Amino acid sequence: MALAKITQVSGTAVHVPGSDIDTDRIIPARFMKCVTFDGLGEFLFYDVRKHLDGTEKAHPLNDPRFKGASILLSGVNFGCGSSREHAPQALYRYGFRAVIAESFAEIFFGNCTTLGIPCVTATTADIALLAARLEADPSLKVTVDVEKNRVFFGEENFTVHIPDSAREVLIAGHWDPIADLLEAAPTVEATAGRLDYMAR
């Protein structure tokens, strides 16, 4: 299964500020009443974007200046809470291809990597800087360079971090691990054979 090698993601970006933005906020539970992930994009951040009557609230994703953004910028502990993959699926289907935040919750990070969405961390100051530049020029092209651990925009750039294990699978095109996992079937069976409970 040949997967794209994700070395960098380029596009416009939007800043959704806040800390501890949880996966319930990213995709409210009622939208998980589904048996496929299709169509989740329209419900992304639904309850902070829409009033009960469906009219729009003030939210960065409703700001016409940031329509079409493919890079999301946020704060601390992004994606905490529920393990629901519906959250990264909604981000992807909405059009996001990379996330820059101060830190990420672990399950969310793993889910994103498996979908080929790089999640890179940056300092508070660098995120504030990029947010200010975006506010001044929403059309600013931003590049998340996974290979070089940097984010480039205009004439500026800053260092970002992504664990080596995630960077390697993204740039090698092995972010969906199923082929690699299947390949080890004989070793899996041998490992299982050493554990009594696997036979019970």
Partner 1 sequence: MGKTLFEKVWDAHTVRRMANGQTQLLIGTHLIHEVTSPQAFGMLRDLGLQVKYPHRTFATVDHIVPTDVQTEPFADNLAAEMIRELRRNAEEFGVTYFDLSSGKQGIVHVVGPEQGITQPGTTIACGDSHTATHGAFGAIAFGIGTTQVRDVLATQTMTMSKPKVRRINVTGRLRPGVYAKDVILHIIALLGAKGGIGYAYEYGGEVFDRFSMEERMTVCNMSIEGGARCGYVNPDAKTYEYLKGRPYSPKGADWDKAVAAWNAFATDDDAVFDDVVEIDAADIAPTVTWGISPDQGFSIEGYIPDPDKAASEAEAASIREALEYMKLAANAPIKGTKVDVAFLGSCTNGRLSDFREVAKYLPGHKVAAGVKAIAVPGSQIVDVLCRQEGIDKVFTEAGFEWRGAGCSMCLAMNPDKLVGDQLCASSSNRNFKGRQGSTTGRTVLMSPLMVAAAAVTGTVCDAREVFEVAELAGV
Choice between 105 and 130, CB closer to partner 1: 105
Identify whether the C-beta of residue 99 lies closer than 8 Å to the C-beta of residue 127.
Answer: no
Minimum distance of partner 1 from residue 54's CB (angstroms): 12
**SS3 for 152?**
strand
- Judged on CB neighbours under 10 Å (0-12, 13-18, 19+), 60 is buried
Choice between 12 and 25, CB closer to partner 1: 25
**SS3 for 56?**
strand
Minimum distance of partner 1 from residue 133's CB (angstroms): 20
Minimum distance of partner 1 from residue 171's CB (angstroms): 10
**SS3 for 39?**
coil
Q: Give me the residues that bind partner 1 (CB under 8 A), please.
A: 18-20, 22, 24-25, 28-30, 32-37, 47-48, 52, 75-77, 80-86, 88-89, 103, 105-107, 110-111, 114-115, 124, 163-166, 168-169, 172, 174, 176-178, 180-182, 184-185, 187-188, 191-192, 194-198, 200
Identify whether the C-beta of residue 166 lies closer than 8 Å to the C-beta of residue 121.
Answer: no
Distance CA 144, CA 179 (A): 27
Choice between 12 and 100, CB closer to partner 1: 100
